[in-house]
Structure 1
């Protein structure tokens, strides 16, 4: 998702992955599945198939771990600020974990074309020896929106075609 933030000296964009549910919604779904699974496992245990109970517990633990990992990955954020002199990129989850400042005049955006038509191009901000991946979690539409915004701001875009590979998809 590409969201404009107020910034009078230039443009500031908040890049986040698309999230279908909040953390609370994910927990509610897990609780619902836990209730259904607990009812079934209890019924099977009463009927004599007690072996079902530990496997139901393992299944729910694996589901909880998957929901947690996915929810945590969806909390990533990138703030891209472009003013007259610099391009500033901040990455993190809840708080800023890393940041880069590149001179706008000499920086460029490298687009590595995808090998498969259903994936977005990989984007990197480049300046001399510094290469920073940008918006790795964006979908095709959001990537196209970001490219158009950056191109409209005068950022130099370097497009690369994928290396020819032998194979059907890769």
Structure 2
């Protein structure tokens, strides 16, 4: 998701992954799955198939781990600030982990179209010293909105051609 924040000195964009559920919603879904799995496993255990209980527990632990990892990765954020002749990029999970400052005039936005129908459009800011990917978690519509916002602020755009992909799907 690309969100334009109020910033009197220039442009500030907040980039976050799309989240379908909050943490509380994910916990409720897991509890519902645990209840259904517990009822089914309990019924089979009462019928004499007691060895289903450890497998039901392992299944619930696996689902909980998957929900936790996915939910944690959806908390990533990137903040792009363009003020004057500098671009300031901050990224991290729960706190700022990476911080870059680039000059506007020597920086270009490189745009990479998807190679296959399953890929997403990718962009990165690049100059002579650094190449910084932006919004690797964004979908195509959000990436297009990001490119449009940066282009409106005068960032040079370099469109690359689609690379032919040879694989088992195409």
TM-score range relative to shorter protein: over 0.9
Contact 2:107 2:155 in 1 (8 A): yes
Cα drift, residue 118 of structure 1: 4.7
Question: Which position in structure 1 is the counterpart of 2:67?
Answer: 67
Contact 1:124 1:134 in 2 (8 A): yes
1:130-163 Cα shifts (integer Å, max 9, x gaps): 0011000001110111111111111000111133
1:80-117 Cα shifts (integer Å, max 9, x gaps): 00111100110011110111000011111001121124
Alpha-carbon separation, structure 2, partners of 1:128 and 1:9: 26
Question: Which position in structure 2 is the counterpart of 1:42?
Answer: 42
Cα drift, residue 43 of structure 1: 1.2
In structure 1, stretches of 5+ residues that fail to align are none
Question: Which position in structure 2 is the counterpart of 1:140?
Answer: 140
Per the normalisation by structure 1, the TM-score is 0.95
Question: Which position in structure 1 is the counterpart of 2:25?
Answer: 25
In structure 2, stretches of 5+ residues that fail to align are none
1:45-103 Cα shifts (integer Å, max 9, x gaps): 11100111011001000000000010011000000001111001100111101110000
Alpha-carbon separation, structure 1, partners of 2:160 and 2:11: 26
SS of 1:154's equivalent in the other structure is coil
Question: Which position in structure 1 is the counterpart of 2:87?
Answer: 87
SS of 1:96's equivalent in the other structure is coil
SS of 1:39's equivalent in the other structure is helix
- Residue-pair matches, total: 170
Please tell me the root mean square deviation across aligned C-alpha atoms, in Å: 1.3
Contact 2:81 2:88 in 1 (8 A): yes
Runs of 4+ off more than 4 Å: none
Per the normalisation by structure 2, the TM-score is 0.95
